[in-house]
């Protein structure tokens, strides 16, 4: 902890603090300007996602899908060229040996989560043996210090983690003195709460990586920083002026959602209740209005920009600006049509680009009849339309 504190303070103008209700977190030790890099980190381990448009995968190092060639020894890992293969060789040399021994029938069991855990233990071994350098910001001790939330996980999930841990143990085939199934299960719980989805500039998921120092940064629905990825590198940039002595905060989830939706997502995945400035206003007028705009309905009068709330007499929803009632049956009919069109559009997406585009435009038309102009669902449909239009 002292070594990490010194490294962050000297090189990045950050300090590690522990708060009673949050645990460890990062604070600034100088002023940061909007757009300035606060901290960046390479992953301790990372594994590419499967490419949904191809039976192969992505390059193990840069996550590219072009010019891929499979490792001839293990037949599991792919590289786009010799540069990436050589860069990854210290770790893959050891990984290749254990993957080569996996029975063909178990190859499909090598999910990204399993592979990430195998690489985690192999990298720990290589750092202990000084094959890979160990630093104050890059060591297994930082992984050990991450919170697991094991006591809050339900029994079914614990059983799943135990099964996954057993598979990792079978793959590694290490003696019990070197590996412990219970510890592996705990690490799976840590990954669930702390691993990050590595995305490209268009926010398309490419891989999963573990960044132990970045994981110290806490969540806020009104963050002062944003986490982006430059290839494998995780970069945290300021989105506003951050004074010295301020906690660095990012958002773990989509912030364009109602307080109820955000709180549900945070509780289910990260096991905490957010008390940021947005969330503490839950139930107040501004929060109710924001939720109704983001996830609610629009007024029947096209010239009215009001938001709708549920009618006390349960007849439907009432516009808070002009008082016009929108009946439940009308809303249900449009919602059913939207659901049908979205299902149809998703089936078209993998095939005919023109059909997919036309169907999503039909979805947008129906949502314009139903949703507030600033609705998150309408925004997502328009985003999908753009992606379909740009697709090769």
pTM, two decimals, is 0.87
List pLDDT tens digits, range 47-83. Answer: 998 754 444 589 999 999 999 999 999 999 999 999 9
Q: Tell which residue, 198, 203, 202, 201, has the closest CA to residue 233.
A: 198
List pLDDT tens digits, range 25-42. Answer: 999 999 999 999 999 999
Residue 11, in any domain of the structure? no
Residue 364, in any domain of the structure? yes
Q: Are residues 161 and 295 in the same domain?
A: no
Q: Are residues 190 and 292 in the same domain?
A: no
Between the two ends of the chain, the Cα-to-Cα distance in Å is 49
Residue 311, in any domain of the structure? yes
Q: Are residues 57 and 179 in the same domain?
A: yes
Q: Is the pLDDT of residue 168 over 80?
A: yes
Q: Are residues 48 and 189 in the same domain?
A: yes
Return the SS3 of 132. Answer: coil
Q: Are residues 49 and 187 in the same domain?
A: yes
Q: Which of 159, 179, 196 is the last residue in one of the domains?
A: 196
- Give CA–CA dist 276/247, Å, rounded: 12
Q: Are residues 64 and 191 in the same domain?
A: yes
Q: Which of 164, 196, 228 is the last residue in one of the domains?
A: 196
Q: Which of 171, 196, 221 is the last residue in one of the domains?
A: 196
Q: Are residues 294 and 163 in the same domain?
A: no
Q: Are residues 182 and 291 in the same domain?
A: no
> Which pLDDT value is given to residue 54?
46
> Which pLDDT value is given to residue 51?
54
Q: Are residues 180 and 73 in the same domain?
A: yes
Q: Are residues 181 and 295 in the same domain?
A: no
Between strands 23-28 and 78-79, the pairing is unpaired
Give the residue numbers spanning the domain of 333: 285-390
List pLDDT tens digits, range 261-301. Answer: 999 999 999 999 999 999 999 989 999 999 999 999 999 99
Which runs of E-coded beta strand occur in the chain? 14-19, 23-28, 37-41, 45-48, 69-70, 78-79, 196-199, 205-210, 218-219, 225-230, 233-238, 249-250, 308-310, 316-319, 325-327
- Taking CA 76 as the corner, what is the angle to CA 75 and CA 80, rounded to the nearest 5 degrees? 95
Residue 70, in any domain of the structure? yes
Q: How is residue 56 written in tokens?
A: 């192969």
Number of structural domains in the chain:
2
Residue 73, in any domain of the structure? yes
Residue 14, in any domain of the structure? no
Residue 32, in any domain of the structure? no
Residue 165, in any domain of the structure? yes
Q: Is the pLDDT of residue 386 over 90?
A: no
């Amino acid at each position: 902890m002292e070594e990490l504190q010194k490294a962050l303070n000297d090189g990045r103008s950050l300090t590690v603090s522990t708060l009673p209700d949050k645990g460890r977190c990062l604070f600034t030790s100088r002023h940061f300007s909007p757009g300035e890099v606060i901290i960046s980190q390479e992953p301790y381990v990372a594994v590419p996602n499967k490419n949904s448009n191809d039976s192969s995968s992505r390059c193990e190092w840069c996550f590219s899908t072009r010019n891929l060639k499979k490792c001839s020894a293990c037949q599991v890992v792919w590289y786009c060229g010799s540069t990436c293969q050589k860069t990854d060789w210290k770790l893959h040399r050891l990984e290749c040996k254990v993957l080569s021994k996996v029975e063909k029938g178990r190859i499909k069991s090598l999910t990204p989560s399993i592979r990430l855990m195998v690489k985690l233990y192999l990298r720990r071994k290589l750092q202990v043996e000084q094959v890979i350098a160990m630093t104050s910001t890059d060591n297994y001790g930082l992984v050990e210090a991450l919170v697991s939330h094991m006591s809050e996980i339900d029994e079914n999930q614990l059983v799943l983690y135990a099964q996954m841990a057993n598979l990792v143990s079978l793959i590694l085939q290490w003696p019990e003195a070197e590996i412990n199934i219970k510890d592996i299960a705990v690490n799976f719980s840590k990954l669930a709460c702390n691993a990050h989805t590595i995305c490209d500039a268009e926010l398309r998921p490419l891989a999963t990586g573990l960044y132990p120092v970045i994981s110290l940064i806490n969540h806020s629905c009104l963050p002062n920083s944003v986490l982006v990825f430059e290839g494998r590198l995780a970069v945290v940039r300021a989105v506003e002026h951050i004074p010295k002595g301020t906690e660095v905060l990012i958002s773990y989830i989509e912030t364009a959602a109602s307080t109820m939706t955000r709180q549900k997502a945070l509780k289910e995945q990260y096991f905490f209740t957010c008390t940021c400035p947005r969330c503490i206003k839950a139930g107040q007028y501004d929060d109710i209005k924001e939720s109704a705009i983001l996830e609610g309905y629009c007024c029947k009068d096209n010239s009215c920009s009001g938001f709708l709330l549920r009618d006390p007499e349960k007849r439907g929803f009432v516009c808070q600006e002009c008082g016009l009632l929108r009946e439940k049956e009308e809303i249900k009919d449009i919602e059913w049509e939207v659901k049908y069109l979205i299902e149809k559009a998703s089936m078209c997406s993998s095939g005919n680009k023109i059909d997919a585009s036309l169907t999503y435009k039909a979805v947008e038309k129906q949502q314009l009849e139903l949703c507030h102009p600033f609705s998150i669902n309408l925004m997502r449909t328009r985003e999908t339309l753009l992606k379909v239009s740009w697709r090769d």
